[in-house]
Chain A
Amino acid sequence: MADRSFDIARLPGFATIAVTIFVLLYLPIAMLVIFSFNAGDNVAIWEGFSLRWYPEAWANEAVKQATWRSLQIATCAAIIATTVATMAALGTTRRRQTRGQSFVYLMINQPLMVPEIVTAVALLIFFSSIKVATGYQGLGYLILAHAAFCIPFAYLPIRARLEGMDLSLETASADLYATRWQTFRHVTLPLVMPGAIAGLMLAFVTSLDDVVITLFVKSAGQDTLPTYMLAQIRRSVSAEVNAISTLLLLLTVVLLTAFFLLTRKRT
């Protein structure tokens, strides 16, 4: 009690504001989860507990296809983004700092700052000219687009991981008779791995729930789970969407918990 040092938690109204914000953040999500167990068709009136929407959503062929497509895109895009981000992070942290370093950071993190809609339109125009030239209509465009905006999400945890590491580790490895390849294989790679896995998961989650860029880039019949849900909701509000959202939420929570545990370990 005698401690009179500044503590933000003791300011008047702190608790009220904090509680209000948490309610605003989580109440809608809680509602969504609760109504995914609603027995009735209506998303606003509770008619009793039921699990009917889960098997119903799963029985829907369109949902299955969109889910499969989303997973394919997210997996490929996350792997590409993580590979590129790992190389970028190694290039920006495992050597002496040079002039123009912050410019490089800015370039790598560009997708975080450019409005998504601008990227979406730019990619739409860019990919249409390629489509005309090559005739290729597949998922490749979506994968590349997702990989591009996922790079900064993968880059940040990898860079954070590498920045804390002594620059002389690779020098020590070379001093102990390791070739460049051996140094990468036995020193750099094992050290970057936890960061890379964290980056991979973050990129995966980011890709999985993207709507704006996907809407612009996708060809007809290339609905991902989020764009499918958007289309469903435009037509009629269906409790099936609640069930899918709840499952997506569950997947995200699992991945982000794993991300948290991985980045916290051994630091």
Chain B
Amino acid sequence: MPEDTAVEVRDARKVYGQGAGAVTALDGVSLGIRKSEFFTLLGPSGCGKTTLLKLIAGFESPTTGQILLHGSDITFDPPNLRPVNTVFQSYALFPHLSVADNIGFGLKMQGRPKSEISETVTRMLALVRLDAMADRKPGQLSGGQQQRVALARALAPSPKVLLLDEPLSALDLQLRKEMQIELKRLQIETGITFVFVTHDQEEALTMSDRIGVMQSGHLLQVGDPRTIYTRPANRFVASFIGESNFLTGTVDGNVFTLDAGPRMEVGQTDGAPATGKVTAAIRPEQIRITSATLGDGIPATVTQTVYFGTDTHCRVALADGTEITVRLQSPASGDVGLHPGSEVTLKFEPGALILLPKAA
């Protein structure tokens, strides 16, 4: 195991229930999370990301497999013996304790001296900018403030890893954006490894150093946000993170022939078969659209345009009936000059086309 690994998950399986009613929440997940990185587990609900988080926190133990923290096996350690803290989705602040006592709870349970506790609490209050709220009860705080208390409480004992279980989902959009920046700042300032669980792809892309995409108990792809977005490993990743159009065709070397007709060169073909039928993905914003029907490119017919403010989404049909979406930046006038029925030509850079592996 590399020196800089904070959490290592080895072939973890988690099955709930028994016999016919058994549900496999995690189906053999292996993963290494580096020290001081902001790692995000991203996936739709029920994909197993929260289960994986619970295994690391110690609220559940894996059916098979191992969890290692900084190199030592913690698979069956109870949560109170793991130097790992959690920020809960519901915050789970203690309603009978003041903000300061909530933040100092972990240190108090560890039996640290009073002076150290009050010093750390003061530092944490400053870190999350709640100095004035020390004596309030959680019930007297707004949702965003409660969120900050939950963060401070989990950070106060200086855990080796901080787990965050969809902590922003209860906040409104404005506050969520602020907290995203705040979280990233805290992670950089404290240098603590963050493991963040979310189903929000935008949250994952903006905050993470690396993202692990999960589906149905499997880890599909791990990589930095750019790699995940520009080189998705399969169709699920391509459609879950951002929008994608899917085109079918035949590949031969680095020449891709669309079922709808035109041939084109492709950039990378990593993971995809060298010859035969394949599916390719292309992002809506990577396609250029021209009203000219001459020259090379893919001929298409506009079926619908939807105005989104900064963007205009244009649905076009290819010769074989495949419908794809093109995202255009709205011009100053707001009118892209395309209408249902317009004959257009689609163009894109060779590198924009992503050939997907067969079994996706």
Q: A residues touching B (Cβ–Cβ < 8 Å)?
A: 165-166, 168-169, 171-179, 182, 186-187, 190-191, 266
B105 in contact with A176 (CB, 8 Å): yes
A186 to B95, CA, bound (A): 12
**Distance of A101 from chain B, by nearest CB (Å):** 18
List of A residues within 8 angstroms of B106 by Cβ = 176-177
A168 in contact with B88 (CB, 8 Å): yes
Can you list 7 pairs linking A and B with CB atoms under 8 Å apart? A168-B88, A168-B90, A173-B94, A174-B80, A176-B80, A186-B108, A191-B94
List of A residues within 8 angstroms of B109 by Cβ = 173, 176-179, 182, 186
A174 to B105, CA, bound (A): 11
Q: B residues touching A (Cβ–Cβ < 8 Å)?
A: 57-59, 78-81, 84-86, 88, 90, 92-96, 105-106, 108-110, 139, 153-154, 157
Query: Which chain A residue has the least Cβ–Cβ distance from B96?
Result: A190
A177 in contact with B90 (CB, 8 Å): no
**Distance of B77 from chain A, by nearest CB (Å):** 12
A266 in contact with B57 (CB, 8 Å): no
Q: A182-B109, A266-B139 are in contact. Are A174 and B92 (CB under 8 A)?
A: no
**Distance of B117 from chain A, by nearest CB (Å):** 12
Count of A-B contacts with CB under 8 A? 63
**Distance of A266 from chain B, by nearest CB (Å):** 7
**Distance of B226 from chain A, by nearest CB (Å):** 33
List of A residues within 8 angstroms of B154 by Cβ = 175-176
Query: Which chain B residue has the least Cβ–Cβ distance from A193?
Result: B96
List of A residues within 8 angstroms of B95 by Cβ = 165, 191, 266
Q: Which of B59, B80, B90 contacts A178 (CB 8 A)?
A: B80
Q: A190-B96, A266-B139 are in contact. Are A175 and B90 (CB under 8 A)?
A: no
A252 to B338, CA, bound (A): 80
A175 in contact with B96 (CB, 8 Å): no
A174 in contact with B78 (CB, 8 Å): yes
Q: A175-B85, A266-B139 are in contact. Are A191 and B96 (CB under 8 A)?
A: yes
List of B residues within 8 angstroms of A168 by Cβ = 88, 90, 92
**Distance of B133 from chain A, by nearest CB (Å):** 18
A169 in contact with B80 (CB, 8 Å): no
List of A residues within 8 angstroms of B157 by Cβ = 176-177
Q: Which 8 A-B pairs have the closest CB atoms?
A: A176-B106, A172-B92, A168-B92, A178-B109, A177-B109, A174-B79, A190-B96, A175-B86
Query: Which chain B residue has the least Cβ–Cβ distance from A165?
Result: B95
List of B residues within 8 angstroms of A175 by Cβ = 57-59, 79-80, 84-86, 154
List of A residues within 8 angstroms of B80 by Cβ = 174-179
Query: Which chain B residue has the least Cβ–Cβ distance from A164?
Result: B95
**Distance of A170 from chain B, by nearest CB (Å):** 9
List of B residues within 8 angstroms of A171 by Cβ = 59, 79, 88, 92
- Max count, chain A CB within 10 A of own CB: residue among B58, B84, B86, B109: B109
A175 to B93, CA, bound (A): 12
List of A residues within 8 angstroms of B108 by Cβ = 186
A166 to B105, CA, bound (A): 17
A23 to B10, CA, bound (A): 75
List of B residues within 8 angstroms of A169 by Cβ = 92, 94
A166 to B89, CA, bound (A): 11
A169 to B95, CA, bound (A): 9
A165 to B94, CA, bound (A): 10
List of B residues within 8 angstroms of A191 by Cβ = 94-96
Query: Which chain B residue has the least Cβ–Cβ distance from A178?
Result: B109
Q: Which of B59, B78, B139, B153 contacts A176 (CB 8 A)?
A: B153
List of A residues within 8 angstroms of B94 by Cβ = 169, 172-173, 187, 191
A84 to B157, CA, bound (A): 36
A190 to B102, CA, bound (A): 14
List of B residues within 8 angstroms of A166 by Cβ = 90, 92
Query: Which chain B residue has the least Cβ–Cβ distance from A191?
Result: B96
List of A residues within 8 angstroms of B153 by Cβ = 176
- Max count, chain A CB within 10 A of own CB: residue among B84, B85, B105, B154: B105
**Distance of B18 from chain A, by nearest CB (Å):** 15
A182 to B85, CA, bound (A): 17
A169 to B150, CA, bound (A): 12
